[in-house]
Structures are given as C-alpha cells and as structure tokens.
Amino acid sequence: MLNIMKKWTFMRKNQPAVFREVPDLFPEQAESAMTENADEQKHYHGEILCRHLLDGIAAIEIIRNSLLDSGTRLAGEQGTLDEIALHNSETRRYMQELCSVLDDISEHADKGLDYTQKLVSVLGQINQNINNIERLANQTNLLAVNSAIEASHVGSRGAGFSVIAREIKQLSGEIQDEAVNITTFTGKIKSHAKAIHTDAEDNQKLVCSIRDIAVQAEDRLQNMITSSSRMEAIIRFVAVQQFLNTVKLDHVIWKGDIYRRLLDGNADLSVNDHTQCRLGKWYYANEGQRFIGHDAYRKLERPHRLVHLSGRLALEARAQGSLHDEELHLSAMEDASREVIENIDDLLASISY
C-alpha cells in the first residue's frame, strides 16, 4: 500500500492535473505530449488502484466486526462460566459437609453399638445375680423347712423357732417370686437391647455404604470441576485470541483511514492516540494488565504508540506540503505496525490455557 502511495504521490507531484491533446504538427512535440499523457494515465491508474485497495479494506472491516462479535459473545459466556464455578464450589462444600455429617453419624453409631453391648452385658450380670439370689433364697427356704421339722420334734419348746422358720419360708418364697419377675423384666430388656444392637449394626452398615457413595460422588464432582475449569480456561484463551486478532485488524483499518485522508486531501488532522483505540484501552486496563509478566506485552507499548504518532505526523506533513516528511512518517508507521503485529503474535504464542 505504501509503495503504491509513493508512486502515486511522485506522479501527482510531477505531472499536470489535466490531460493534454496531442498536437497534429511537429512530430517531436507530438511525441512529448503523448509521453506526458501516458504518464498522466499511469498517475490516474495509480490513484484508481489506491482507491480500490482502500475500498478492499472494507472487507477486512467486515471480518474484524465478525471477530469482534464472536469475541464479545465469548466474553459474555465468561459470566456464565463464573456462575458455574460458583455452583461447583458450593456443591463441593456441601459434599464435604455431607461426608463430615456421615462421619459423625458413624462415630455415634459406633458408640451406640458399644452402649447396647454394655447394656446386654450388664443385663447378663444382673440376671446372673438374680439367679444367685433365687438360688440362695431357695436354699434358705429349705433350711427353714428343715428347721421347722426339727422344731416339731422338740414339742412346745420349739414352737417359737417354728414361727420364725415359717416367716423365713414366706420371705424366701417372696424373694423367689420377685426374682422370677425381675428375670422376666431383664429378659425383655435384653431382648429389646439385642434388637437395638442389631438395628444399630444395620444402620452402621448403611451409614458406611452411604459414606462410600458420598466419597465416590465427591470424586466425580472433583472431576467435573476440573473439566469445567479446563473448559473455562480454553474459552478465556479463545476470547483473548479473538480480541487480539481483532485489534490487529483494527490497525489495518486505522492505517487505511490515514491513507484515504491523504488520497482525498482531507485536512482533518484529528486521530486517536494509542491510549484511545481498542488495543490501548485493553492494554492499560485491568484485563490487559494481567499479561504484564509477558515480555511481548511489555514490548507492545512503544511501537503501538509510534503507529498512532506517525500516522498523525504524516497528515500534518501533508498539510504543510512536505511530501518527504510524509513519506518518512508513513514508513515509520508501517514499520511500527509490523512490530505491533509481531508482538501480538508473540503474546498469543506465550499464553497457555
């Protein structure tokens, strides 16, 4: 583009503005006029090529806008990804709480098993002692009966002892009856305690089974979170990639506007600087600052500033009629533009997802 502009500018500088008619007389003059007309035709042909080339940049603008729309949609999806990440985090926290609760239940279930086992053991000891009491009471009853028999042999002198023996026998019988009742009650308690113990064992097995399932679910959840994070990183990378490719096209279009102004003789010297374009706003904002650790990012600022500065200086040089300075500034603009694109490509190559 710059070479075509150079040729067109040179021919415009050295050629008249209108075509001449080729005179009929003087062959030497006719040949000179034909040469001038041929040069003028080349000049206008160069201008036509420049204009068509600039019109072709409109197609690049369409591509740029398509990339921009796609990047904008991807950026919008990042909000959805953030929401997914939040739900994943909350779900993982709830799953961890569930496992903690199941651990507590399992611990209490273990204690419940211990308590029921102790209860059954104590009941066994109680029954054993009741049996001993019943046995001793039975022995006491037998002694009382024997004593009563012996007292009957001694006649009236053993009457008092016989009364005591009868009372002992009565009390012994009552003790035996109560022992039987207590044994019945403790037997029922023991039966219920064993049922509780069996239920506790079943509950403990169920809790352990649920705990195993919860652990497996937590592992699957972690896999899902890992996949979601990977997907999020890829989408963010593609969004950045599309954005940086968009700003490369931005600067092609921006330079095309500079050339069109020069071609049209537009006296408007107002152009945005390197902080006002899309790349500049990104570069100096938080989103761009996260790449400050990349060497290509740090190298981007100087040539980017020079692109905008050189374009503005080229317009000023044209306004002052200095075609030499105009060419110098356009060359500087193109060199800086190539460096900007190279640094953007290097930045893209250094970004991973």
Both tokens of 67, joined, read 């990339």
User: What CATH number does the domain containing 239 carry?
Assistant: 1.10.287.950
Query: Is there a single domain that holds both residue 194 and residue 340?
Result: no
Number of domains the chain is built from: 2
Per-residue pLDDT of the chain (353 residues; tens, 9 = 90+): 555 555 545 445 454 444 344 444 445 554 554 455 555 555 555 566 666 566 656 667 777 777 777 777 777 777 777 777 788 788 888 778 878 877 887 777 777 778 777 777 877 787 787 777 777 777 766 666 666 666 555 555 545 656 666 776 777 777 778 778 877 877 887 787 777 778 778 877 877 887 787 788 778 878 888 887 888 888 888 888 888 988 999 999 899 899 989 888 887 888 999 999 999 999 998 789 989 999 999 999 999 999 999 999 999 999 999 989 999 999 999 999 999 999 999 998 898 76
In the chain, where do the E strands start and end? none
Query: Is there a single domain that holds both residue 330 and residue 286?
Result: yes
Query: Is there a single domain that holds both residue 108 and residue 82?
Result: yes
Cα–Cα distance list, 217 to 1, 87, 263, 287 (Å): 62, 16, 68, 36
pTM (predicted TM-score): 0.59
Provide the residue count of the chain. 353
CA 80 to chain centre: 10
Query: Is there a single domain that holds both residue 261 and residue 274?
Result: no
Query: Is there a single domain that holds both residue 286 and residue 327?
Result: yes
Residue-range definition of the domain harbouring residue 153: 2-266
Query: Under 8 Å CB-to-CB from 176, ≥6 apart: which residues?
Result: 134, 137, 138, 141
Task: Specify whether the backbone of 277 is left (phi greater than 0), alpha (psi in -120 to 50) or beta.
Answer: beta
Query: Is there a single domain that holds both residue 174 and residue 149?
Result: yes
Q: Report d(CA 95, CA 103) in Å as an integer.
A: 12
Nearest to residue 257, comparing CAs of 302, 319, 308? Answer: 308
Query: Under 8 Å CB-to-CB from 348, ≥6 apart: which residues?
Result: 240, 241, 244
Query: Is there a single domain that holds both residue 189 and residue 280?
Result: no
Both tokens of 234, joined, read 């890829």
Query: Is there a single domain that holds both residue 246 and residue 122?
Result: yes
Query: Is there a single domain that holds both residue 73 and residue 106?
Result: yes
Query: Is there a single domain that holds both residue 174 and residue 129?
Result: yes
In contact, 15 and 36? CB cutoff 8 Å: yes
